[in-house]
Structure 1
Amino acid sequence: MLAYRHAFHAGNHADVLKHLVLAEVLRYMAEKDKAYTVVDTHAGAGGYALDGRYAQKNAEHLGGIAALYARKDLPGPLQQYVQLVHDFNPGKKLEQYPGSPAIARMLMRFDDRLRCYELHPTDHRILASYLEDRANTQVLQQDGFASLKAELPPPSRRGVVLIDPPYEIKADYGKVIAALRESLQRFADGTVAIWYPQLQTVESVQLVQRLKAAAEPAAKKGWLHVRLTVAQADERGFGMMGSGMFVVNPPFVLHDKLAECLPTLVDTLGQYDDANYLLEQQTA
């Protein structure tokens, strides 16, 4: 939806989980010399001012990156992710939060290809300006779901697709399933990372099982599912309780790296006594 602005949620607990997973996937991709492609279907603005009026409205980053930023005792993968946020801030103070394109830019190599899709005109303009000096990069004001057909398979046959729509309309859930099927049909051994919000809605509750059903016949390296639950729904059953990442054809090291970090995330970001995580994997 063009009304959605990720700046309201920048650096929250969901961003922490999403970008921890993304960073580990990209680090793994860089272990081989051959170039790879990243396709970000809902790229956003690239970076967000945490002292701006959008981010300050609910100050969601206080329950996310701000709780981790000054820590020196974090597990290795989590510390590396936090260091990326430090690197994105010119001073020692936490003032800016990097979106997925910025995380990718910091970890990708010169020959790696970055393709970012963003429909919101303001966010597209900001992102295009931020990435204008990066080689092998395109920033397109087009529907990321509809554009996967043209992007896959990538020239080097190595790639990562990040799918994280706002889910403000129910149709996004169906589009995510269709996008996963499209991706695997065209690029069966590509890594597809899908973010989703944990809500008490039928669509959210059913999404993971639908993703598993779509992945299991086609994914060459199985799937991994991680969910971080930090809050309770309100008395009417509304509110985001947490979020998850469903990764198809995940790096084989990802499970153990997340297992190392998740207890710390629960302890640090959990907002109630029963905060918890789920980590499950199926290998092909």
Structure 2
Amino acid sequence: MLSYRHSFHAGNHADVLKHIVQMLIIENLQQKDKGFYYLDTHAGVGKYRLLSEESEKTAEYLAGIARLWQQKDLPEEIQRYVNLIKKLNYGGKELRYYAGSPFIASLMLREQDRALFIELHPADYPLLRNTFKDYQNISTKRDDGFQQLKATLPPKERRGLVLIDPPYELKEDYDLVVRAIVEGYKRFATGIYAIWYPVVLRQQTKRIIKCLEATGIRKILQIELAVRPDSDQRGMTASGMIVINPPWQLESQMKQILPYLVKTLVPENTGSWKVSWITPE
């Protein structure tokens, strides 16, 4: 189908959550000198112009990154995330661009680290390829991102992060995520897997969690940020990250960060958050 374009949603509350979690995991991997592998299965174009026709049409970033942009009291972890976005905006005088997960990774990777960015969309892939064509340790590929867990794992580095962020425009995506995780985990059980999910209908979220529980995989952490209560009306009410083999600090870090995000991103007082284990160690 391939109708989903992330440019309509870049920088929204879901991106804020996803990219803070991504940053914290990469920071943890960097605590060791040995290189790591980063796989982004649904990479998009890499970076987004917030003043584009697509972005301006929804202006979702105004209730996301824009609400953090000029805050003076940011917690340290959130400040580091905002600083990454400011690097893309020539020091941060004006918010004009937003970094997708590939660009955030590119800003953080060291010489000894390696990344593969996958995108299937025929219009998005050329933009992704051109953005990263001069990076020595980054490869791009037009392909089905789910297949790359089978094709590229385990990495030679034997440590790394797999970010899985499908559009969920097809109901099958929920099942494909679980199948891909099972395939990847068989090959690379010590890797960190971070799966983004939207909450549009809560039953779909419950389904993916139930399926992950049934895999028998241990150490699965759920992190969720809601901007309004669950509803059967159209639209995303919340989003979350499911992290397999999370760094030990991630649970406590997110418990400190999420109350601030709810207060700042959801001034209407309709928001909530949760950090809980789907399956403990």
TM-score tier after normalising by the smaller chain length: over 0.9
Partner of 1:135: 136
Letter in 2 for 1:230: V
Report the TM-score, using the length of structure 1 for normalisation: 0.94
Moved more, 225-234 or 138-147: 225-234
Q: Distance in 2 between matches of 1:213 and 1:251?
A: 22
Q: Distance in 2 between matches of 1:110 and 1:51?
A: 33
Q: Are the counterparts in 2 of residues 266 and 275 from structure 1 also a CA contact under 8 Å? A: yes
Structure 1: unaligned runs, 5 residues or longer = none
Q: How far 1:271 sits from its partner (Å)?
A: 5.8
Change (3 A) 1:278 1:233: closer
SS in 2 for 1:121: coil
Q: How far 1:244 sits from its partner (Å)?
A: 0.4
Letter in 2 for 1:223: I
Letter in 1 for 2:38: V
Q: Are the counterparts in 1 of residues 263 and 269 from structure 2 also a CA contact under 8 Å? A: no
Partner of 1:4: 4
Partner of 2:30: 30
Q: Distance in 2 between matches of 1:202 and 1:262?
A: 23
Partner of 1:227: 224
Partner of 1:182: 183
Q: How far 1:120 sits from its partner (Å)?
A: 1.1
Q: Following superposition, which runs of at least 4 residues in structure 1 exceed 3 angstroms of deviation?
A: none
Q: Are the counterparts in 2 of residues 185 and 218 from structure 1 also a CA contact under 8 Å? A: no
Q: Percent identity over the alignment? A: 44
Moved more, 82-91 or 167-176: 82-91
Q: Distance in 2 between matches of 1:240 and 1:186?
A: 33
CA shift digits 1:118-146 (9 cap, x unpaired): 01122111111111111122100000101
Partner of 1:118: 119
Letter in 2 for 1:109: R
Q: How far 1:209 sits from its partner (Å)?
A: 2.7
Partner of 2:55: 55
Q: Are the counterparts in 1 of residues 12 and 61 from structure 2 also a CA contact under 8 Å? A: yes
Q: How far 1:201 sits from its partner (Å)?
A: 5.0
Partner of 2:41: 41
Partner of 1:262: 258
Q: Distance in 2 between matches of 1:271 and 1:144?
A: 36
CA shift digits 1:77-102 (9 cap, x unpaired): 11111111111111510000000000
Moved more, 195-204 or 65-74: 195-204
Q: How far 1:237 sits from its partner (Å)?
A: 2.2
Letter in 2 for 1:273: N
SS in 2 for 1:20: helix
Q: Distance in 1 between matches of 2:267 and 2:120?
A: 33
Matched pairs, number: 279
Equivalent residue runs for 1:1-284 within 5 Å? 1-90=1-90, 91-200=92-201, 202-214=203-215, 217-219=216-218, 222-232=219-229, 237-270=233-266, 272-281=268-277, 282-284=279-281
Q: Distance in 1 between matches of 2:99 and 2:207?
A: 30
SS in 1 for 2:3: coil
CA shift digits 1:183-234 (9 cap, x unpaired): 11111110000000012253233222322333xx234xx1211000102466
Report the TM-score, using the length of structure 2 for normalisation: 0.95
Q: Distance in 1 between matches of 2:36 and 2:88?
A: 23
Q: Are the counterparts in 2 of residues 231 and 271 from structure 1 also a CA contact under 8 Å? A: no
Structure 2: unaligned runs, 5 residues or longer = none
RMSD: 1.4
SS in 2 for 1:71: coil
Q: Distance in 1 between matches of 2:255 and 2:203?
A: 28
